[in-house]
Chain A
Amino acid sequence: MTDVCIRASGLVKRFGHTTALDGVDLEVPTGSILGVLGPNGAGKTTMVRILATLAQPDQGSVHVAGHDALRDPVAVRGLIGLTGQYASVDEELTGRENLELIGQLLRLPGREWKTRARELVGRFDLTEAGERPVKTYSGGMRRRIDLAASLVGRPRVLYLDEPTTGLDPRSRGDLWQTVRDLAEEGTTVLLTTQYLEEADELADRITVIDHGRTVAGGTPAELKRTTGSQTLHVRTVDPADTDRVIGFLTELLDTEPALASDGVSISAPTDDPVLLSALVRRLDQEAVTTDELALRLPSLDDVFFSLTGRALPGDDHEEASA
């Protein structure tokens, strides 16, 4: 029997007339990484804030390592670490001073608040930067000190709310490795992301939420299987032919295929073994030439599309590097 560390059921949270969460359930086994995947505004941050005792749900329950987060928030706070854009460090203090402050607040025994701070700045490659005020940090350093701050108390459970949004690929890779290391040391991790690649890379299990609802859950492999066994990918040589190909596929499949954000890559899930040859004949008749025409196992992008009917926002991480 798997040991469940984080369990939330029936979480509902409303802000005025907006329903941010509309009955979210999730379970995270001890020592595993759960990826919570969803677009902006899906309710991911609201959910993490509730799991971290920063907000109260209107309905539902939260248990972390057996403690009721609503009735006994202090016990839960003693077990968790939180890294998100809202739970931040003091920009006027240096990196090391921030970690020491948290160590002192956590009443670490003896001089451990000092040694723990030194150990963490070392681990996150901030030994020199640790002596400078955090407001002078780059985006990547800022994320590292935020993560270090959430680890001072050696939490058993770690919440990471969009930890790599806006990071360059190298910083992102480093952070992924840290998360893997932490999970290996036995930390239970709940990670929210809008990047399928990130969920695919890190998570043992994935929960997909959209409009405040859980729309799917499972291992990355299980999720990929839910969309049909294969996905057809087409890209025409002349972008002007794109609409015609969408038309052919709509006829052949009876549903409209997905168009990626680049405006030319078409994809459609299928179980039909003759679809590819039917499409090839059609393209030949109509004299449409293609750059790409292939059947592949579905990606998580395809999964998200088939679950929500919408493509995820662009998966490029460089867009907002600070």
Chain B
Amino acid sequence: MSAPTLTPENTLTPPVKRRIGALEATGHGLTLAKRNLRYVVRTPTTLIDTVIQPVLFLMVFVFLFGGAISGTWQGYLQTLVPGLMVQITMYASIGTGMALNTDISKGVFDRFRSLPIARSAPLVGAVLGDVVRYAVAVTVLLLLALALGFRVQTDPLSALLACVLVIVFGLTLCWFSVLIGMMVANPQAVPGVSMAVILPLTFGSNIFADPETMPRWLELWVGVNPVSHFVDTVRGLMIGGPVAGPLALSLVAVVLCHVILLPLALRAYLRRVR
């Protein structure tokens, strides 16, 4: 090939490296969060995860097992609802990893990467979109629970704080979901791997039954399971009971998860968006 080796552009001083500011990056993230929400509304399966699942869990556990566990389903409803708030958030967090993995395998991710937008934007978009998803799931659960007779026994502010905590909990878990989403080959593999972790954490907790009725080894596990402390906190804030102790333990768990999971998740993510 006989083209010249130097062009005027190259002989001049090199152009200034273009950086994307924090404000611009936030804008990109918000645009993609909106797109992810639209996706949730459009895709029946993700809508089912977000709306139908809490309804189903509540119905099955309250009416099917409520009487057997607590004597009356009405009594069980009061202790179950705060626990279910935590559980459905865990289930909803699976969606983060699935959405990111779907974007990667369908090539949407590469389209975004070829645009002059912040590297963080697809991740920020996925996570922000999920906050709304968690909020919708918790709201649906609470509305149905209220219709069935669930009553906040503390005060509205405490109940609101409980909801905020549940969303913080979801945001902690979503890093785990991001990590799985970056590691598995296809989106269908995300729920399976996630469930292997989520099931022992949810069912091996105080969400559904009193740990004192369990064998000693299981009771020990429930005692160290951070989900139990979260449930205790949310229960305390919504139906009364100790809050400070379980809240402190829950926050330790949140911080620990961030210290361990966040760097791993970000590393796995950055490896794919470099």
Contacts and interface: CB of A to CB of B under 8 A. Distances in A.
Interface in A1-34: 1-4, 7, 25-27, 29
Nearest to B111: A87
A2 to B, nearest CB: 6
A171 interface: no
A272 to B, nearest CB: 30
A43 interface: no
Contacts of A86: 107, 110
Contact of A54 (B10, B106, B114): B114
Interface in B17-41: 17-20, 24, 27-28, 31-32, 35, 38-39
B110 A92 contact: no
B60 interface: no
Interface string B1-20: 10110011110101101111
Interface string B164-200: 0000000000000000000000000000000000000
A75 B18 contact: yes
Contacts of B27: 107
A89 B7 CA distance: 35
Interface centre among A63, A80, A105, A150 (most CB of B within 10 A): A105
Contact of A106 (B15, B42, B115): B115
Contacts of A91: 106
Contact of B39 (A53, A54, A92): A92
Contacts, number: 111
B7 A4 contact: yes
A52 B18 CA distance: 16
Contacts of A205: 1
A68 B14 contact: yes
Contact of A88 (B9, B32, B107): B107
Contacts of B107: 85-88
Contact of B112 (A68, A71, A105, A107): A105
Given A68-B14, A78-B18, A218-B1, A87 B31 contact: no
A153 interface: yes
* Size class of the B contact interface (CB-based, 8 Å): 35 or more
Contacts of A80: 114
A104 interface: yes
Given A54-B110, A74-B20, A107-B27, A92 B43 contact: yes
B38 to A, nearest CB: 7
A71 B17 contact: yes
A87 B15 CA distance: 27
B274 A56 contact: yes
Contacts of A74: 17-20, 116
Given A87-B111, A89-B108, A105-B31, A77 B15 contact: no
11 contacts: A4-B3, A27-B1, A66-B12, A75-B17, A75-B18, A78-B18, A82-B111, A92-B42, A93-B38, A101-B35, A105-B117
Interface of A: 1-4, 7, 25-27, 29, 52-54, 56, 63, 65-68, 71-72, 74-75, 77-78, 80-82, 84-93, 97, 101-102, 104-107, 133, 149-150, 153, 205, 207, 217-218
Given A75-B15, A89-B111, A92-B42, 20 more contacts: A2-B3, A2-B4, A29-B3, A53-B113, A54-B113, A66-B9, A74-B19, A74-B20, A77-B116, A77-B117, A85-B107, A87-B111, A90-B39, A93-B38, A97-B38, A105-B117, A107-B27, A150-B114, A207-B1, A218-B1
